[in-house]
Structure 1
Amino acid sequence: MHILDAHLHLWDPAVLDYGWLSGDLDRTFGPRELEHALAGMSDDRAFIFMQADARPDQALAEVDWVASLPLPVRGFIAFAALEQGDAVAEHLAALSSRPGVVGVRRLLQGEAPGFALTPDFLRGAELAAAHGLVFDACVRGEAQLRDVAALADELPQLSIVLDHLGKPVVGSAEAPADPSAGGWSRSIRDLAERPNLVCKVSGLPGESDGAFSAAQFEPFLDVALEAFGAERLLYASDWPASFPGDAVAGYGAWERIVREWIASRGIDAGAVLRTNAERVYGLDAT
């Protein structure tokens, strides 16, 4: 099977500046490290690179660096400071001139609620849509999930991908959280009513307290499936960010959980593992 991992990070602190790196992630993650993580995995696969929050003025350099690496990267999601409004137009034009740039991301999870609904941010997002760029929304909490819904309503022409199922609280392998508790599942169902929104099946290991398990994640995956349907779910690894303790073993463990869940639910594996991402990001089918 050909797999398209729709959310792969790569970074090298010797090449670009990443002020957020710390702990186990504060080192290089490039082709050699990825090769180790994929050892023993026989499927053919390619990747969509997700910007790794290098210094903002290095956004174009980040795309160029990853494009130079010997990896099957089919698309790039680059950083764009959409809150700059009309001032981001030149940057978006430069990104669009780079082969393979299919989307942009401005991390929202650390911003106050309402950040993505300011007039300038809406204008920047409108310009991104005019360039045919998808917006990846990485948020946390019910307030920010409501903001994503409002953004989708304000700009129906903007294709939005919700990263990591909105980062729900998943508990631990020993004490899984209940997705029906609190407002996460309600927010996910509300978001799914917007036709310009899809959801990435990714990131849950990063929300776990250490070790993780299929039983811990499957109830959350089931909520996403019920809400979005299999045709609006995209598989991704979020490597290595979701696996700070063991980036080598984590990749395969997460993918096995997702693939076994897909098989047990009778889902079209090719759609979730590849073709949905091709459609959403406008990539040629393989």
Structure 2
Amino acid sequence: MRVVDSHLHLWDPWDLEYEWLEGPMLGRFAEEELFEEQLPGVSEEVAIFVQAETVEHAFVDEVAWVDEIADAARVVAIVAGARLDRGAAAAELLERLSEHERVVGVRHLLQGERAGLAASAEFVAGARLVADRGWTFDACVRAHQISDVTALAAAVPELRIVLDHLGKPAVGTAERPLRPSAEWLRDLHGFAARPLTHVKLSGLPAEAAGEWSPEQMTPFLDAALDAFGPDRLMWGSDWPVSSIGVGYQAGARARWFRAVRDWSASRGVSAEALFWSTPLAFYGIR
């Protein structure tokens, strides 16, 4: 079985500057640490690195750092950090990022931004620059912001957008699981109605603070399948974020892999597509 981890983070707070790392997150998670978390029963494993939210002035430095360890970490492509609402500065940043061959897309982390930013004129202008390069956009939002990304998809229909972590729905915990909300289901289907959109089956363990069960996650995975169909789904580990609850949990990456693999088999979803060909096609990797 071949696997593309479509959502992998790497960071080193002693090499780059971050403002959000604290507690068990505040440590080095890079190629050596990832080596200890290889997936079981996999014949080939590669990954898409997704920006780990360095401070803004270090976005290019982060890409250069990942390039240095990419072979050891089996990173075949990079989704770089960018602020798309910066006008000429955004265009300049995209030009600098294009000097790195592994860059295939960008992520402007939206989950902490004001409502409506993704649909603003400034953001749409930046998103058009991304689309003009043939790059992708990773949308990391909370559930109430999904409709903003749908508006972005309508404004820039040629932009390939993937919704990270299913839009971060409230999932509860293993002891107190929640069902998918009507609002999240509505907005997920609204986003999926745009033809170039995809979704990552990733990040749900982090939304449960690491306390989750496969049965708890099944309704959310089913909802994604119902909205997007089997050909616009991709698996991601969200390592190491989804491996950290109150402390780092060794083996959590493999546990999420097994849960989604078993779910996909039970639903007749092609493992080759979910874990390999769909993410490669979306990110334009050959």
Query: One fold, TM greater than 0.5?
Result: yes
Once residues 39 and 235 of structure 2 are traced to their aligned partners in structure 1, the CA distance between those partners, rounded to angstroms, is 19
1:24-61 deviation digits (Å, cap 9, x = unpaired): 11000011111112275543200000000111111111
Shift of 1:118: 1.6
Deviates more, 1:266-275 or 1:64-73: 64-73
Partner amino acid, structure 2, of 1:153? A
Tell me the equivalent position of 2:136: 134
Fraction of identical pairs, as percent: 45
Which of these residues, 105, 110, 113, is aligned with residue 111 of structure 1? Answer: 113
AA partner of residue 219 (structure 1): P
Q: AA paired with 1:178?
A: R
Contact kept? 1:4, 1:47, Cα under 8 Å: yes
Report the residue type matching 1:63 in the other structure: V
Partner of 1:281: 283
What's the counterpart of residue 221 of structure 1?
221
Q: Do the aligned partners of 1:8 and 1:236 also contact (CA within 8 Å) in 2? A: yes
> Do the aligned residues in 2 keep the contact of 1:85 with 1:122 (CA within 8 Å)?
no
The equivalent residue for 2:46 is 46
Alignment partners' CA distance in 2, 1:86 and 1:247: 42
Q: Tell which deviates more after alignment, 65-74 or 225-234.
A: 65-74
Q: Which residue of 2 aligns with 1:196?
A: 196
**Residue in structure 2 matched with residue 89 of structure 1 by the alignment:** 91
Alignment-derived partner of residue 169 in structure 2: 168
Matching residue's letter, 2:219: P
Q: Contact 2:48/2:79 (CA < 8 Å) preserved in 1? A: yes
Matching residue's letter, 2:202: S
2:150 aligns to what? 149
Q: 1:79 to 1:13 in 2, by over 3 A?
A: same
How far is 1:131 from its partner?
1.1
State the distance in 1 between where 2:43 and 2:96 align: 34
| Equivalence for 2:34 | 34
Structure 2 letter corresponding to 1:268: S
Runs of 4+ in structure 1 over 3 Å off: 39-43
- Would the aligned equivalents of 2:39 and 2:257 in 1 still touch at CA under 8 Å? no
List per-residue Cα deviations over 1:125-156 (Å, max 9, x = no partner): 111111111010000022x1110110000000
Return the alpha-carbon distance in structure 2 between the equivalents of residues 274 and 22 of structure 1: 33
Letter in 1 for 2:80: A
CA distance in 2: counterparts of 1:275 and 1:193, whole angstroms: 21
Instruction: Tell me which moved more, 238-247 or 193-202.
Output: 238-247
User: Could you say if the C-alpha distance between residues 209 and 60 of structure 1 is closer, same or farther in structure 2, counting changes exceeding 3 Å?
Assistant: closer
Q: Under a length normalisation based on structure 1, what TM-score does the superposition of the two structures give?
A: 0.96
Alignment partners' CA distance in 2, 1:39 and 1:153: 37
Count the aligned residue pairs: 282
Does the aligned pair in 2 maintain the 1:135–1:161 contact within 8 Å?
yes
Determine the structure 2 residue equivalent to 1:16. Answer: 16
Partners in 1 of 2:210 and 2:90 — Cα distance? Answer: 39
Question: In 1, Cα distance between the equivalents of 2:219 and 2:7?
Answer: 22
State whether residues 82 and 125 of structure 1, in contact with CA within 8 Å, keep that contact through their aligned partners in structure 2. Answer: yes
1:112: Cα distance to partner? 1.4
Tell me which moved more, 189-198 or 240-249: 240-249
| CA shift for structure 1 position 160 | 0.5
Give the aligned partner of residue 270 of structure 1: 272
Which deviations, in whole Å up to 9, do the C-alpha atoms of 1:180-238 show, x marking residues without a partner?
A: x3301111111110002110010000000442110010100000001101100011100
Q: CA distance change for structure 1 residues 57 and 209 in 2, over 3 Å: closer, same or farther? A: closer
Structure 1: distance between partners of 2:168 and 2:82 = 21
Could you tell me whether the CA contact under 8 Å between 2:3 and 2:42 is conserved in 1?
Answer: no
Among 96, 99, 102, which residue is 1:100 paired with?
A: 102
- Measured in 2, the distance between the counterparts of 1:128 and 1:184 equals 27
Partner AA of 1:281 in structure 2: Y
For 1:25, the equivalent position in structure 2 comes to 25
- CA drift at 1:247: 4.1
Q: Which residue of 2 aligns with 1:237?
A: 237
Return the TM-score normalized by structure 2. Answer: 0.96
Q: Which runs of 5+ in 1 are unaligned?
A: none
On the 8 A contact 2:30/2:73 being kept in 1, the answer is no
